[in-house]
Amino acid sequence: MKIAVRGGHNFLAKGASGLIDETTEDRKVKDAVIKYLKQAGHSVLDVTPGNMDSSSDLAYGVNKANNWRAELFISIHFNNAYDSYNGAIGSEVCVYNTFDIAQRVVNKLGALGFKNRGQKVRQGLYELRKTACKAIICEVCFCEATEDVTLYKKLGADVIGKAIAEGLTGQTVNSTPSTPKPQAKVKKTWEINIQGQIIKDLQYQLNVQCNANLKVDGYCGDNTVNKLITVRKGARGNITKIIQKLLIRKGYSVGSYGADSVFGNGTYNAVCAIQKANGLSVDGVVGKNTWKVLLKK
């Protein structure tokens, strides 16, 4: 079967947020669903959008699925109803018309311990109206419900993704054990980063502008991290241009002029967006914590 899988929303048009963040968590579940669908022998297309406005976001996934002639479409989401909720609300699937595969998916989630809210007919939803095949919007659980979130964290995205994949296919899929990395080869956080010319450019500029005395080797280790400077709106120059290139690499628009070396409104808004997406203080200033997010793979 040809199955199109989408993680809902994106980091510029974010979804629900409560005790957990929908956009962050649905991508974890989406990846697990894809893994287990492939393991079961199905053709899978990831139609998750990059960062874009909400209208483009919806059209992107649906159009890719339709152009690929998918036989089934599923969009992974997390729900929200209240500012806060002490207890369990549960899982549900939204459909244009009820059908057996959708019921299997919500039953599988129910079997994991989530309250089974069943199928909800929502014929006004874009993803259900516009897909050329049968489609499911899977609401894993509610972001603000304490018991839902506790269960979600206890189970983990991999277990939940496996259950959804089994519901979609009607097959039992074996879990894929993760192979632990040898401890001797585990690197520190800052040894697992972007490397190459952009880091060489950063090191060179830090040497020129700040007398950092760094080795220009394209490797972002502790020495480079400790020499990073704070950059804010109004800055101009090559270090600002490097920040803009890093933001663009991560899918954030810095404005119509691109990496133009000017820390203007577009760059400020992109910095705020990546800070919000990564749980940082949203101030639009590129300090050490924001640099770390920019430099991580």
Per-residue pLDDT at 156:
96
Per-residue pLDDT at 181:
53
SS3 assignment for 123-166 = CCCHHHHHCCCEEEEEEEEECCEHHHHHHHHHHCHHHHHHHHHH
Is it the case that residue 275 has pLDDT exceeding 70?
Answer: yes
Per-residue pLDDT at 256:
87
Tokens of 124: 């006004």
Per-residue pLDDT at 225:
87
CB-CB contact of 128 with 95 (8 Å): yes
Q: Find the angle CA(43)-CA(49)-CA(51) to the nearest 5 degrees.
A: 160
Q: What is the mean pLDDT of residues 216-235?
A: 89
296 or 268, greater pLDDT: 268
**Mean of the per-residue pLDDT values of the chain:** 91
Closest CA to 210 of 194, 193, 224: 224
Per-residue pLDDT at 195:
62
CA distance 277 to 266: 17
pTM of the model: 0.61
Locate the domains of the chain by residue range: 2-169, 189-295
Residue 116's DSSP bridge partners are: 91
Per-residue pLDDT at 219:
84
Per-residue pLDDT at 192:
43
Q: What is the mean pLDDT of residues 85-110?
A: 98
Is it the case that residue 182 has pLDDT exceeding 60?
Answer: no
Beta strands at 116-121 and 134-142: parallel, antiparallel or unpaired: unpaired
Per-residue pLDDT at 221:
81
Per-residue pLDDT at 220:
82
CA distance 226 to 217: 16
Is it the case that residue 188 has pLDDT exceeding 90?
Answer: no
Is it the case that residue 290 has pLDDT exceeding 90?
Answer: yes
Per-residue pLDDT at 189:
46
Q: What is the mean pLDDT of residues 243-249?
A: 92
3-class state of residue 51 by DSSP: coil
User: What are the φ and ψ backbone dihedral angles of 11, each rounded to 5 degrees?
Assistant: -80, 0
What CATH class has 2-169?
alpha beta
Order across the sheet with 134-142: list the strands: 43-46, 2-7, 72-79, 134-142, 91-95, 116-121
Which runs of consecutive H residues, i.e. helices, occur in the chain? 22-39, 54-68, 100-111, 126-130, 146-155, 157-169, 197-210, 222-226, 238-249, 265-277, 288-295
Is it the case that residue 191 has pLDDT exceeding 60?
Answer: no
List, for residues 45-88, the tens digit of each pLDDT value: 999 999 999 889 999 999 999 999 999 999 999 999 999 999 99
In CATH, what number does 189-295 get?
1.10.101.10
